[in-house]
Amino acid sequence: MYVYADNAATTRMSDTAVAAMIPYMQEFFGNPSSLHSVGQKAAEAMMNARQTVAGCIGAEAREITFTGGGSEADNQAIITAARIGQRKGKKHIISTAYEHHAVLHTLKKLEKEGFEIELLPVGTLGNITAQQVADAIRPDTCLVTVMFANNEIGSILPIKEIGAVCKEKGVLFHTDAVQAAGHLHIDVKDMNIDMLSLAAHKFHGPKGVGALYARKGIPLVNVIEGGAQERGKRGGTENVAGIVSLAAALKECCDHIDENAAKVTALRDKLIEGILQIPHCALNGDPVNRLAGNVNVCFEGIEGESLLLMLDAKGICASSGSACTSGSLDPSHVLLAIGRPHEVAHGSLRLSLCEWNTEEEVDYILAELPGIVAYLRSISPVWKDLESGKKQFIL
């Protein structure tokens, strides 16, 4: 059996998204800046896509800028707020300890330029409160950037409340909604969001294309210099097929948001309940307040990487929070942020489901996983020490 359970990393494209892009690669392949009809067809498609995306999040078409993905949108939003702040002598930025690296690394860069970055601590259940944000805001705060939902442990943040706090205090508010778009209801006006990032490949669209919503009046700063595309805010010939596909994929997900969430939540809860039967393991994040498809657990006494390889041998695609896969030996900053000790954080597993997963697949994972964990523990020196009492169990 083959089970794809890594939808938080990326998703399979939907038939709708694939079909939407094909005409713009061969038939209407023109450059949207060209005056001839093939170019104008492409320009028209982009206009419609912009309108569709805006409609899905309660924005206006002119408030949407297409980017080369979620990371670029995050970079552009944060750099924009920093430059606006800098002009007014405001150099304090509030974020959280468990943001995506697209946010954290951009903030690090600004820190080197003299910005003061304050990362809010995360509760043990993966929670951040609007009160924490309110307490952290100072007269020199130029930006609050807080993710809509966490990509590793699935926490859903109180975005509307945080938006209200930021509005009241007159501070720009950006949210990385890459995990939320297409999966959770978003209304940028109602939620007082000034800037929002999304990426097509997290909702069955193509990779390498995303969007940045910026409330009208916010002067976006370019991160890609070039021609006058995207009203001068993002140089480079537009990825027309990708943009059209992004819009089609987002619309399809948003049209089925509640039914997809209900289906995926039931699968998720069955999976969590089954996994928690395994001794010395624990759920990461909140059991209820989490993305419909997110399962993240820690197993004591094993390494996440070995677990992933053995699952893969059984046809199960998953991911681990420990970042050895990304060339670093440090465990996930997200798991450390919720207080998991290093040795436990190394034994993490993330299974992220989508509406195409089935109950049979969940049953298959539950049939294979306990044996793999038991085997890895049987060959683990750490597990030996735990069993003999030389080391204390944490979970």
Ligand X SMILES: *Cc1c(COP(=O)(O)O)cnc(C)c1O
Residues near ligand X (CB under 6 A) are: 69-71, 74, 100, 102, 147, 151, 176, 178-179, 199, 201-202, 210
Of 142, 253, 324, 354, catalytic: 324
Q: Given the complex with ligand X, which of 174 and 268 has the nearer CB atom? A: 174
- Residue owning tokens 């939540």: 265
- Least gap, CB of 246 to ligand X (angstroms): 11
Q: Say if strands 116-120 and 172-176 run parallel, antiparallel, or are unpaired.
A: unpaired
CB of 198 to ligand X, least distance (A): 9
Distance from C-alpha of 77 to C-alpha of 228, rounded to nearest angstrom = 19
In this complex, which beta carbon is closest to ligand X, that of residue 240 or of residue 373? 240
Rounded distance between C-alpha atoms, residue 167 and residue 173, angstroms: 8
Cβ-based nearer residue to ligand X, 212 or 376:
212
Whose Cβ is closer to ligand X: residue 91's or residue 202's?
202
Least distance (Å) between residue 162 CB and ligand X: 16
Strand ranges (E), the chain:
3-4, 64-67, 92-96, 116-120, 141-145, 172-176, 195-199, 210-214, 281-283, 294-299, 316-317, 348-352
Q: Please give the single-letter amino acid code of residue 173.
A: F
Q: In the complex, which residue's CB is closest to ligand X? A: 70
Strands (E), 249-354: 281-283, 294-299, 316-317, 348-352
Let me know how long the chain is.
Answer: 395
> 74 or 230, CB closer to ligand X?
74
Q: Report whether 190 contacts 58 (CB < 8 A).
A: yes
What tokens appear for 133 in the block?
């944000």
Q: Provide the token pair at 394.
A: 């944490």
Provide the minimum distance between the beta carbon of 244 and ligand X in the complex, in angstroms, as a whole number: 17
Residue 249, beta-bridge partner list: none
How near is the Cβ of 209 to ligand X at its closest, in Å? 8
Q: Is the dihedral of CA 224, 230, 231, 237 positive or negative?
A: positive
- Considering beta carbons, is residue 20 or 102 the nearer one to ligand X? 102
Q: Which residues of 162-191 are buried (b: 16+ CB within 10 A; e: fewer)?
A: bbbbbeeeebbbbbbbbbbbbbbebebeeb
Q: Judged by CB, which is closer to ligand X: 10, or 129?
A: 10
**Shortest distance, CB of residue 202 to ligand X, whole angstroms?**
6
**Shortest spacing between CB 176 and ligand X, in angstroms:** 5
- Pick 210 or 242: Cβ nearer ligand X: 210
d(CA 138, CA 395): 39
Q: Known catalytic residue: 253?
A: no
Contacts of residue 78, defined as CB under 8 A and 6 or more positions apart, other chains included, come to 93, 103, 106, 107, 110, 143, 145, 174
CB of 164 to ligand X, least distance (A): 22
Q: Which of 174, 210, 176, 178 is nearest to 192 (CA)?
A: 174
Q: Among positive and negative, which fits the CA dihedral 234, 238, 244, 250?
A: negative
Residue 197: CB atoms within 10 A of its CB come to: 32
Residue 282, Cβ density class (10 Å: 0-12 exposed, 13-18 middle, ≥19 buried): middle
Question: Looking at the annotation, which residues are catalytic?
Answer: 324
